[in-house]
Amino acid sequence: MLFAVVAIACVLSGPAQAHAGPRGGALTTTGPVPPPGVLPPVLGRAAATGVGEVVLGGAPAYLWRDGCAPTSAGMLLGYYDAHGFPDLIPGDASTQTPAVDQAIASHGTGAEPRHYEDYALPKDNGGSIQPDRSQHPDGARHADDCLADLMGTSRSALGLAYGWSYTNRLGPAVRAYVASTCPSASVAFADYFIYYSGPRELTFAVFQAEIDAGRPMVLCVDSDGDGAIDHAVLGIGYRETAGYPEYACLDTWYRNVRWAPFQVEGDEQRFEVFGGTAITLAADGPSADVSAPVTTVHGADGPWSATPVTLTFSAVDEGSGVDRIEAGVDGAELAPLSGLPATLRVSGQGVHRVRYRAVDKRGNEEAVRVCTVRIDAEGPVTRARAARVRKGGRVHLRYRVDDLTPKASVRLVVRTPSGRRCAVLRPGWRRTGVLQLAPWRATLRRGVYRLWVYAVDEAGNRQAAMRSARLVIR
């Protein structure tokens, strides 16, 4: 059976950027053996009495199967298989059966290759990524049939060595897998990061709320304490020990529950959390909410502004409701905005292209829309050309106005050398950036004058610099 995968954008900042992937997804790089210094849970951390300890029951402990991210996603599906969705994995998913392994990362044969043969072979590592069948045409490889396929795990075409995955593919992969195996269920997901400020910030309270709601959460962590994300685990519980928040997880290397610090500012710790994916399964079928929200923006596509512009985004959704609004300016990746309605301040000289969309609570994404903001905080630059004309004759006074805006309101003034105004011409709105001609009859007395050009651009800025020219009437 063939699955479709969609990408989701996540935002990652802070000290854990060493393993950031495309569009902000964290990169997990651990293998089947834990890094040096990572001890089994019973030895790596002494038992402690925690305050307010909560641990979800029924989460199966699977061991690393061709990638920590698909393995952690497999444990999450194994949990839901035992909690109301028995069709997710064939047979009993409470232990790591062959059916479980195939759901995580399928293995076949040389004659009938699956995930392992197409993408894990030839075996490679981070230092030398070997080309695999992901770089061949689609017909040269099997149809996606497991979580590792749907996540793109190990694919050299994505720059991934054996067992590596991008975490921003986990939510869409789970959704695609569930849609094929259990169409009566619908999936909503959201990616969070600790070092992101906004509605997608992962706090201990956010994690507690997921656990309290009976939803395990796939977390991306720093397993060896070197300050970089490298591993995915299944978070299944929480507590506080000596005033510090801790989380319980199944780490894909050991079957015992591991307790680790949730997050410690300025102190690198093994298994410290940097982000995660919250996933919700509901037994209402995908038809319950398949429509995306619709966003309206105020403040865009208007006239030129001399000051920064604040856009206001509002959205409506007929199904699960609006979860967030995302926006990006001048080619930047879409990032969640705070609040609903949401605002975005656009500044800087020029024409700015703002991309935006809304996402509902079921993960339905609006098609990306585009609006424009035009800002010009600088006044025009004007100059005139010298001219000679007989008294009573006609002449075309030449001038130029340069400005970011395409038009400016122009006024020409003829003055004596002492500055006294003698004549005024009002050409009105004229194109900027080109030489212009203004017809004029010289009715003044013979002498030498100066021609000055005054202009106001479309943002309301008056000329910032001007250069007059000599006008001689003979």
The string of DSSP codes covering 342-408 is EEEEE-SSEEEEEEEEEEETT--BPPPEEEEEEE--S--EEEE--EEE-TT-EEEEEEEEE-SSSEE
167, 28 Cβ separation under 8 angstroms = yes
104, 62 Cβ separation under 8 angstroms = yes
**Tokens (6 digits) for 201:** 């910030």
What's the Cα-to-Cα distance from 411 to each of 29, 288, 397, 406, 435, rounded to whole Å?
Answer: 67, 63, 12, 16, 15
Which helix (H) or strand (E) segment is 396 a member of? Answer: strand 394-402
Instruction: Identify the residue whose tokens are 């043969």.
Output: 117
Residues 6+ apart with CB under 8 A from 299: 309, 310, 311, 312, 373
The per-residue b/e assignment along 320-353, b for 16 or more CB within 10 angstroms, e otherwise, is bebbbbbbbbeeeebbbbeeeebebebeeeeebe
Rounded (5°) CA angle 93-94-99: 30
Radius of gyration of the chain (CA): 32
Phi, psi values for residue 427, rounded to 5°: -65, -25
- pLDDT score of 13: 34
Distance of CA 462 to the CA centre of its chain: 39
Residue type for position 35: P
70, 78 Cβ separation under 8 angstroms = no
What count of other Cβ atoms lies within 10 Å of the Cβ of residue 300? Answer: 20
d(CA 20, CA 119): 21
d(CA 474, CA 463): 31
Q: Which three-class secondary structure state does DSSP give residue 424?
A: strand
d(CA 155, CA 158): 6
- pLDDT score of 196: 72
Give the ranges where 308-467 is alpha helix by DSSP (H). Answer: none
Domains along the chain with CATH numbers = 17-282 (3.90.70), 289-375 (2.60.40.10), 381-473 (2.60.40.2550)
* pTM of the entire predicted model: 0.61
122, 132 Cβ separation under 8 angstroms = yes
**Tokens (6 digits) for 389:** 């004309």
**Tokens (6 digits) for 362:** 């079921």
Size (the chain), residues: 474
pLDDT tens track for 262-302: 976 556 688 999 899 999 998 765 445 567 899 999 999 99
CA 146, 148, 151, 152 dihedral sign is negative
| DSSP symbol at 219 | E
d(CA 233, CA 38): 14
pLDDT below 50 — which residues of the chain?
Answer: 1-24, 44-48, 286-287
What's the Cα-to-Cα distance from 429 to each of 47, 304, 349, rounded to whole Å?
Answer: 79, 15, 22
**Tokens (6 digits) for 40:** 């089994």
Residue type for position 211: I
